[in-house]
Structure 1
Amino acid sequence: MIKPRETSPEIKINLVNDTLWELSEQSPKNFSLILFYRGKHCPICKKQLEELQKKLSKFIERGVNVIAISTDTEDVAKATYNEWDIADIPLGYGLSIEEARDWGLFVSKGIKDSEPEYFTEPGLFLLAPDQTIYWESIQSMPFGRPSFNDLLGGIDYILKEDYPARGEA
């Protein structure tokens, strides 16, 4: 488990637009938001990412860079990008199970033909510009994800009050 105020693992991930995204190359004004999602097989992920698309400008206004990442293959991730309403979200694919575990994500074994053999359960990380963990939410199930309105409200409070990362003790 990575605690708040600790440096996150480095991540280099291919995007569906045929570029490479590297965490260490990011220079957000305030935060990087990394959303780990289960994959194309998950209808709740589709709903969550499409909601993120609708609120993306609100994150950008607050100086937050956003990326969504899964363990899906390139072909599956590109199909996800084309079929879901997520045109402006950088979409990464090919996260390894080992990398997922480095982030403290829960890993599930597929139980349906439509699911990959192994995939991550949801995780949301808000990172400070120095790549330290500021806020994390990790689920062992697809249900009960934080709302983006709550996250945006939290970011507003954090920025207004210069509120420190908590949970490090």
Structure 2
Amino acid sequence: MSHIPLLPGQIPPAITLALNGGGQVSFAAPGWRLFVVYRGAHCPMCRAYLAQAESFRAHFAAAGIELVLASADTAEQTTALMAETGYAGPVAINLAPEHMAMLGLFITDAGVAGAPRQFAEPAAFAVDGDGRLHAIQISNAPYARPDLQALLSGLVYDRDNGVAARGAMR
């Protein structure tokens, strides 16, 4: 699978995922939203990151930005991870390799017990009020994760000051 370069200002791919515990979420829906892709329950760094995400969840909500996590994990794996980390926000499950490719994510073929056959490396996609990509961060390594504090303050600043998405040209 090849990576498709997404550009800020574009409407994201029409990917709809099931949420753990019921419901669905769409990457292409309008409204300020931050999708954060994490590797999965098999990753020790993800556990610490999800605990940190829980500490920021109320701040994102107060700012009017929905925080949604996503991974290739099953509902069973996600439920166990949420219980362990205390994360109580929306989590999209079963992120498939074709979704990962549509988002331009780096994909790892698992050799780790408990990992999905293929899983995505960390990424973040901020969607603005019009449903367009505002900020994109894609990593190929578990230790190069999106900084939630920087994303929150930057997105609030951009939204409140009418700053357009940057980097829309290649």
TM (norm. structure 2) is 0.89
Contact persistence 1:50–1:85 (CA under 8 A): yes
Contact persistence 1:38–1:121 (CA under 8 A): yes
Per-residue CA deviations over 1:6-28 (Å, capped at 9, x if unaligned) read 1101121111212222345x553
Per-residue CA deviations over 1:21-66 (Å, capped at 9, x if unaligned) read 2345x553xx111011111011211211211110111111211011
- Bigger mean CA deviation after superposition, 7-16 or 154-163: 154-163
Matches within 5 A, 1:59-138: 59-87=60-88, 89-138=89-138
Percent identity, please.
27
For 2:152, the equivalent position in structure 1 comes to 152
Contact persistence 1:34–1:126 (CA under 8 A): yes
Mapped partners of 1:162, 1:119: distance in 2: 35
Matched pairs, number:
165
For 1:47, the equivalent position in structure 2 comes to 48
Per-residue CA deviations over 1:108-149 (Å, capped at 9, x if unaligned) read 011222432211101101001222110010001111223212
The CA deviation at 1:82 is 2.2
For 1:15, the equivalent position in structure 2 comes to 19
Contact persistence 1:77–1:92 (CA under 8 A): no
The CA deviation at 1:157 is 2.2
The CA deviation at 1:163 is 1.2
- Bigger mean CA deviation after superposition, 145-154 or 58-67: 145-154
Mapped partners of 1:9, 1:22: distance in 2: 9
> Unaligned 5+ residue runs, structure 1?
none
Mapped partners of 1:23, 1:108: distance in 2: 22
TM (norm. structure 1) is 0.90
Mapped partners of 2:27, 2:145: distance in 1: 23
> Unaligned 5+ residue runs, structure 2?
none
What letter is aligned with 2:53?
L
